[in-house]
Amino acid sequence: MNTLSTKETAILLIHCPDQKGILAAVTSFLNENRGNIIYLDQNVDRAESIFFMRVEWELDLFSIPKEKIADYFETLFAKKYDLRFTLHFSSERPRMALFVSKMSHCLFDILSRQMAGEWEVDIPMIISNHNDLKPVADKFGIDFYCFAKDGSNKEEQEANEIALLKEKQIDFIVLGRYMQVLSDKFVSQFPNRIINIHHSFLPAFAGAKPYHAAHERGVKIIGATSHYVTTDLDAGPIIAQDVVRISHIDSIENLVRKGRDLEKIVLSEAVYKHLQRKILVFNNRTVIFN
Amino acid sequence: MNTLSTKETAILLIHCPDQKGILAAVTSFLNENRGNIIYLDQNVDRAESIFFMRVEWELDLFSIPKEKIADYFETLFAKKYDLRFTLHFSSERPRMALFVSKMSHCLFDILSRQMAGEWEVDIPMIISNHNDLKPVADKFGIDFYCFAKDGSNKEEQEANEIALLKEKQIDFIVLGRYMQVLSDKFVSQFPNRIINIHHSFLPAFAGAKPYHAAHERGVKIIGATSHYVTTDLDAGPIIAQDVVRISHIDSIENLVRKGRDLEKIVLSEAVYKHLQRKILVFNNRTVIFN
Amino acid sequence: MNTLSTKETAILLIHCPDQKGILAAVTSFLNENRGNIIYLDQNVDRAESIFFMRVEWELDLFSIPKEKIADYFETLFAKKYDLRFTLHFSSERPRMALFVSKMSHCLFDILSRQMAGEWEVDIPMIISNHNDLKPVADKFGIDFYCFAKDGSNKEEQEANEIALLKEKQIDFIVLGRYMQVLSDKFVSQFPNRIINIHHSFLPAFAGAKPYHAAHERGVKIIGATSHYVTTDLDAGPIIAQDVVRISHIDSIENLVRKGRDLEKIVLSEAVYKHLQRKILVFNNRTVIFN
Amino acid sequence: MNTLSTKETAILLIHCPDQKGILAAVTSFLNENRGNIIYLDQNVDRAESIFFMRVEWELDLFSIPKEKIADYFETLFAKKYDLRFTLHFSSERPRMALFVSKMSHCLFDILSRQMAGEWEVDIPMIISNHNDLKPVADKFGIDFYCFAKDGSNKEEQEANEIALLKEKQIDFIVLGRYMQVLSDKFVSQFPNRIINIHHSFLPAFAGAKPYHAAHERGVKIIGATSHYVTTDLDAGPIIAQDVVRISHIDSIENLVRKGRDLEKIVLSEAVYKHLQRKILVFNNRTVIFN
């Protein structure tokens, strides 16, 4: 995991109804137990009166044993403040499964970052509904599994995929232009743990062929959107978006070409934030910590 | 009219099915008749095989009298090439009517540009459905007309507005956050001559309260869109768009604040292009010449 | 002053060497004295180990009298934590002097925001080295003072300006394309209280005629930069920057035209942040709170 | 070569003093000789009165033999119009040499585009001053040559590089974060045929360590610039630039991380334009055709 410290750290993501003293309470608790805070970002949604916080501290001198930290937070804070939290440790190295179809730009972008050491993540497997990109997986020495899907076998193939994902202890899934809609059953197994890239500036042009739709509408800017997948198609919490200017000169092929660069950068940005444990989902929206 | 020449010029906007020799034919015709070309921009939509062109030339030595130029183009080119054209002269100074409601940011932006001489346009009148902005109109010495509208009198008030617009020989209308939907009847009187600013990145968040919708959806970028008004709400040809990044930190009030800057700049950019005669509408899309 | 509360608030901007417990200490102090915190943003510069914080709280129930708050912070925190702070109250309405020369776009942008109520600021005076924009000042009912400067009278005229600024109790100065370099003597009277807009993406094209230089260099993007004025020309702490794409098509006149929109928006963004008390200057750089 | 046609085409890049009839003359010449024009973009630099044009036409019916086209243009146009031109054919597949040092992001981006068929280019060789990236070259099956350089052997190693580049018939060179300054002697062998990526928004932060300099200066936006290499360091004709927002929160490491994405996208954009024969260099600036 990416961290600011060379020591092992704990990372806590919190949200609760805003209330006096919550920030002082948590930071004092960490200080008093000799947890050296190396990162703290917090904010309050004034409209809904919700407090959000991400705090990271070094464990070497922390007086509470690592395996009991969650218990302590549950006991001391969760009920008192009506607080929800998730806890991560920098020693955990997440395991990603990458789903692709035939286009290679997101695949290459992700694999090259991983290989260059930009990200601390294991990518033990690539899953596809086609064999086209197996040579790329081979080039990078990553296991490639093809689960071809048609109208009749989708449920069965998804069951196979889930079994494999569980077996390989996959933490989260990245859809790198995977051109298949995942079933609700599949999605519900990985809540806020499937990251998709949609090739439009959502909510504009949800669904199929967004570049064609953008050209038809005559927009002057196109975009790409990465989001967590929910059972509501193209409507999950948005993690990152970016855009690029186009003009009447641009053919659909040109939109596709320009869009590829957006897609890979926006998807990788989202994966990076996820790996950093900097995303908190609340009310189908994301809080992205600094 | 904004032009590159100190002499009077003619401006021709053309589109026709793409065909060999059309560009050489038009430029040769102007050259042979001693029209000094000071601007030429053309392009071809390959997918639809349509040729688009904007050409501007000085009239002082041009051998065809100004008032006969349209006839000559009709006779020599229109039928032969199945060509549509519009012709403008730099000596025409367009007359704009500005429609506003209660928000002043677009109003100030437009009036200050006009007053500073950024644009060559006359603004003989401001129309509103409220009296709130009359003091601003007074400040700039522009006639202000209030046509209050309610459920029952819209048709009548629009008839009054149209009568006034005709009387004042208005060429085009700018809706500077005018918070009333114009009827189809009104719109059809001014085809491609009503410029609106919509406070979202269309086609996302068409209709009412786009900033609320953007906040609700959790987008990471908001936008503004200027377009010609058609009878299809928020669906007319897009002239200009721009965007700005937001984050989970931003309240709806903040989106409104950031959006105001986008709105005024994007609307004024569209008006500028319109005044420059650089916009050609085709198939509900705009060609914006260089 | 812009604030999130309808009650009077205090705003504290802090920086000090980073150290355990500083955040908890300040927030606990405010909580214990019944100061309802309505805004808190903090961050740590890890490279230099400096803690930065902006906190705002309501004064109605705060147990320390308003006029003694600074004393308390001095006593309780300043020495102990080697901490520097500035304290503001939402009841203070800052007084701005606006310096302009001949171009009106920044002037109009600022006056229209003030008139529309976007900003809570008084603008009792406009100062210029020319009389060209007096009609605009008159339109908005603001006193206009012309201090023409030439090679021989600069020192004298600046002395006159300073006397007037002091007399009118001006808090800060905005240079809205004021085309005169202020002397070190003048600048040193208003540390971090003079906001300038430079018409380039600093540090590129500092000095005179940046659009000409940008055109000559053939850049593909131009920018504008607002910064606090220091005695080092165009080298003060940067507050805001923005850019716009250009191409080989754009003449210098076009760069100037596109640049105007950047300049006014970027300058007003900087003024807004200043009015919000969201800027802290450290080591010739700005911390801009959320 | 990337082209709009499935037939072989010729591409002509022209510049000459602007003069009446030049556009009609060239297009008429192509039409009369049955060259089907599939692309035409032209513009005039009004300040310097220079005409620029890129035209592409199909050769299958063109009455002038391919190998004589240059002669005809020389005879018919060059002298008469004081015109310079370069001529390319879509059947030519350019050969690129890629220079890298230790960072892999540009290398991966370029190789993955080439492998995915985004570009029509051969990359027969990678040259480096270190062996670190040999495994990547091996992965993609491309010859890797290491020419280590120190203070004493630079001239000799460059001579070896040039010999190899000539032997392999390299058309142009891409410096993908190659951390060595090429000598004037080397550069002069490849005029407008060496594309570099500089990790700043030039002309700001030319030279070494631009991210450190950007952080030190406290800019709010960073950029990347691709340009043709000239003997004047970081001062060659700019092809493409892009920027990304940063804040006081961003450490130098973060600037480096964000900058990597800019660098690879901007460099690849420049290479794409070069491959498309859409760049014309004039007066140390680029004209980038549509």
Read off the CATH number of the domain in which B82 is found.
3.30.70.260
Active-site residue, from D234, D242, D250, D261: D234
Q: What average pLDDT does range C224-235 have in this prediction?
A: 96
Residue C1: which pLDDT band, with cuts at 50, 70 and 90? Answer: very low
Residue B177 within a domain: yes
Residue B31 has its nearest CB partner, among D20, D42, D43, at: D20
Q: Are B237 and B214 in contact (CB under 8 A)?
A: no
DSSP state of D75: I
- Phi, psi for residue C111 in degrees, rounded to 5: -65, -35
Q: What is the dihedral of CA B240, B245, B246, B247, to 10 degrees?
A: 150
Least confident window among B58-62, B69-73, D18-22: D18-22
Q: What average pLDDT does range C223-249 have in this prediction?
A: 97
Q: Are C17 and C53 in contact (CB under 8 A)?
A: no
pLDDT of residue A2: 52
> Do A203 and B205 lie within an 8 Å CB cutoff?
yes
Give dist(CA C205, CA C124) in Å, integer. Answer: 33
Q: Helix, strand, or coil here: A290?
A: coil
- Last residue of a domain, which of A54, A89, A124? A89
According to DSSP, the β-strands at D238-245 and D285-288 are unpaired
If asked whether residues A103 and A57 sit together in one domain, one would say: no
If asked whether residues B112 and B66 sit together in one domain, one would say: no
Residue D1 within a domain: no
Q: Please tell me which residue of chain B has the smallest CA distance to D26.
A: B24
Q: Are C238 and C274 in contact (CB under 8 A)?
A: no
If asked whether residues C237 and C103 sit together in one domain, one would say: yes
Report the catalytic residues of C: 234
pLDDT of residue C21: 87
Q: Which amino acid is at C25?
A: A
Q: Rounded to 5 degrees, what angle do the CA atoms A212, A214, A217 make?
A: 110
CB pairs under 8 A between A and C: 42
Q: Is the pLDDT of residue B2 over 80?
A: no
> Do A116 and D109 lie within an 8 Å CB cutoff?
no
Give dist(CA C16, CA A191) in Å, integer. Answer: 41
If asked whether residues D66 and D134 sit together in one domain, one would say: no
Q: Which residues in chain C are closer than 8 Å to B112, comparing Cβ atoms? A: 104-105, 108-109, 112
If asked whether residues C151 and C211 sit together in one domain, one would say: yes
> Do A42 and C40 lie within an 8 Å CB cutoff?
yes
Q: Best of B22, B33, B44 to disrupt the D interface by mutation (most D CBs within 10 Å)? A: B44
pLDDT tens figures, C112-146: 999 999 999 999 999 999 999 999 999 999 999 99
> Do B31 and D42 lie within an 8 Å CB cutoff?
no
Q: Which residues in chain B are closer than 8 Å to C260, comparing Cβ atoms? A: 118
Distance, C-alpha D277 to centroid of its chain:
9
Q: Please tell me which residue of chain C has the smallest CA distance to B102.
A: C116
If asked whether residues C69 and C182 sit together in one domain, one would say: no
Q: Helix, strand, or coil here: C89?
A: strand
Residue C118 within a domain: yes
Give dist(CA C74, CA D177) in Å, integer. Answer: 51
Q: Rounded to 5 degrees, what angle do the CA atoms C141, C144, C149 make?
A: 165
Residue C151: which pLDDT band, with cuts at 50, 70 and 90? Answer: confident
| Smallest Cα distance from A288 to chain C, Å | 13
- Phi, psi for residue D179 in degrees, rounded to 5: -95, 45
Q: Best of D44, D215, D220 to disrupt the C interface by mutation (most C CBs within 10 Å)? A: D220
Which chains border A (3 or more CB–CB pairs < 8 Å)?
B, C, D
Residues of C with CB under 8 A from a CB of A: 4, 20-21, 23-24, 27-28, 31, 36-44, 46, 245, 290
Q: Which amino acid is at A16?
A: C
Strand partners, A57: A10, A37
Residues of B with CB under 8 A from a CB of D: 4, 20-21, 23-24, 27-28, 31, 36-38, 40-44, 46, 245, 290
Q: Is the pLDDT of residue C2 over 60?
A: no
Q: Let me know if A47 is exposed, middle or buried by CB neighbors in 10 A (0-12, 13-18, 19+).
A: exposed
pLDDT tens figures, D246-278: 999 999 999 999 999 999 999 999 999 999 999
Give dist(CA D170, CA D194) in Å, integer. Answer: 11
Active-site residue, from B234, B242, B250, B261: B234
DSSP state of D7: S
Residue A1: which pLDDT band, with cuts at 50, 70 and 90? Answer: very low
Strand partners, B238: B227
Residue D103 within a domain: yes
Q: Where are the alpha helices (DSSP H) in C169-287?
A: 184-187, 210-217, 252-275
pLDDT of residue B21: 87
Domain containing A240 — which CATH number? Answer: 3.40.50.170
According to DSSP, the β-strands at C279-282 and C238-245 are unpaired
Q: Are B173 and B243 in contact (CB under 8 A)?
A: no
Give dist(CA B220, CA B222) in Å, integer. Answer: 7
> Do C286 and D248 lie within an 8 Å CB cutoff?
yes
Q: What average pLDDT does range D32-46 have in this prediction?
A: 94
Q: Which of A143, A90, A137 is nearest to A110 (CA)?
A: A137
If asked whether residues D109 and D167 sit together in one domain, one would say: yes
CB-based burial, D87-102: b 16+ in 10 Å, e otherwise: ebbbeeebbbbbbbbe
Give dist(CA B136, CA B34) in Å, integer. Answer: 48
Q: What average pLDDT does range C243-267 have in this prediction?
A: 97
If asked whether residues A150 and A279 sit together in one domain, one would say: yes
Cis amide linkage into residue C237, ω under 30° from 0: no
Measured over the CA atoms of residue C128, residue C130, residue C136 and residue C138, the dihedral's sign is positive
Q: What is the DSSP string of D146-178?
A: E----TTTHHHHHHHHHHHHHHTT--EEEESS-
Q: Is the pLDDT of residue D123 over 90?
A: yes
Give dist(CA D108, CA D114) in Å, integer. Answer: 10
Residue D2 within a domain: no
- Phi, psi for residue B64 in degrees, rounded to 5: -95, 125
Q: What is the DSSP string of D208-272?
A: S-HHHHHHHHT-SEEEEEEEE--SSTT-SPEEEEEEEE--TT--HHHHHHHHHHHHHHHHHHHHH
- Last residue of a domain, which of D41, D71, D89? D89
Residues 6+ apart with CB under 8 A from B68: none
Q: Which residues in chain D are closer than 8 Å to A141, comparing Cβ atoms? A: none
Residue B4 within a domain: no
> Do D247 and C288 lie within an 8 Å CB cutoff?
yes
If asked whether residues B76 and B197 sit together in one domain, one would say: no
What's the half-sphere exposure (Cβ side, CA atoms, 13 Å) at C99? 23
> Do A249 and D290 lie within an 8 Å CB cutoff?
yes
Active-site residue, from A138, A143, A234, A250: A234
Q: Please tell me which residue of chain C has the smallest CA distance to D248.
A: C287
Provide the domain count of chain C: 2
Q: Which residues in chain C are closer than 8 Å to B104, comparing Cβ atoms? A: 112, 115-116
pLDDT tens figures, D74-119: 999 999 999 999 999 999 999 999 999 999 999 999 999 999 999 9
Q: Which residues in chain D are closer than 8 Å to B57, comparing Cβ atoms? A: none
Residue D251 within a domain: yes
Residue A4 within a domain: no
CB pairs under 8 A between A and B: 79
**What percent of chain D has pLDDT above 70?**
99
pLDDT tens figures, D181-202: 999 999 999 999 999 999 999 9
Residue found under tokens 């990416």: A2
Q: Which residues in chain A are closer than 8 Å to D116, comparing Cβ atoms? A: 103-105, 108
If asked whether residues D17 and D120 sit together in one domain, one would say: no
Q: Are C274 and C192 in contact (CB under 8 A)?
A: no
Q: Which residues in chain C are closer than 8 Å to B139, comparing Cβ atoms? A: 139-140
Give dist(CA B289, CA B55) in Å, integer. Answer: 10
Q: Is the pLDDT of residue B6 over 90?
A: no
Q: Helix, strand, or coil here: D91?
A: coil
> Do D217 and C204 lie within an 8 Å CB cutoff?
no
Q: What is the dihedral of CA D54, D59, D65, D70, to 10 degrees?
A: 10
Residue D21: which pLDDT band, with cuts at 50, 70 and 90? Answer: confident
Give dist(CA C290, CA D230) in Å, integer. Answer: 43
Q: What is the DSSP string of D98-123?
A: EEE-S--HHHHHHHHHHHTTSS--EE
Residue A28 has its nearest CB partner, among C24, C36, C290, at: C24
- The question of whether B45 is a catalytic residue gets the answer no
Residues 6+ apart with CB under 8 A from D79: none
pLDDT of residue C142: 97
Strand partners, D145: D127
Strand partners, A44: A51
- Last residue of a domain, which of B39, B71, B89? B89
Give dist(CA A23, CA A126) in Å, integer. Answer: 42
Residue B285 has its nearest CB partner, among A43, A248, A252, at: A248
Residue A23 has its nearest CB partner, among C4, C27, C46, at: C27
Residue A3: which pLDDT band, with cuts at 50, 70 and 90? Answer: low
Q: What average pLDDT does range C12-18 have in this prediction?
A: 97
If asked whether residues A164 and A186 sit together in one domain, one would say: yes
Q: Please tell me which residue of chain B has the smallest CA distance to A201.
A: B204
Residue B3: which pLDDT band, with cuts at 50, 70 and 90? Answer: low
The interface pTM score, or ipTM, of the predicted complex is 0.95
If asked whether residues A149 and A276 sit together in one domain, one would say: yes
pLDDT tens figures, A72-97: 999 999 999 999 999 999 999 999 99
Q: Please tell me which residue of chain B has the smallest CA distance to D55.
A: B43
Q: Where are the alpha helices (DSSP H) in B9-153?
A: 22-32, 69-73, 105-115, 134-139
Q: Is the pLDDT of residue C50 over 70?
A: yes
Q: What is the domain range of residue A48?
A: 9-89
Give dist(CA B217, CA C213) in Å, integer. Answer: 43
| Smallest Cα distance from D184 to chain A, Å | 32
**Could you tell me the two tokens for D97?**
């040499």
Q: Is the pLDDT of residue B226 over 80?
A: yes
| Smallest Cα distance from A131 to chain B, Å | 32
Q: Is the pLDDT of residue A137 over 50?
A: yes
Q: Which of B272, A4, C196, B214 is nearest to D253 (CA)?
A: A4
Mean of the per-residue pLDDT values for chain D? 96
Residues 6+ apart with CB under 8 A from D119: D2, D113, D271, D272, D275
CB-based burial, C159-177: b 16+ in 10 Å, e otherwise: eebeebbeeeebbbbbbbb
Residues of A with CB under 8 A from a CB of B: 43, 45-47, 52, 201-205, 217-221, 223, 237-243, 247-249, 251-252, 284-288
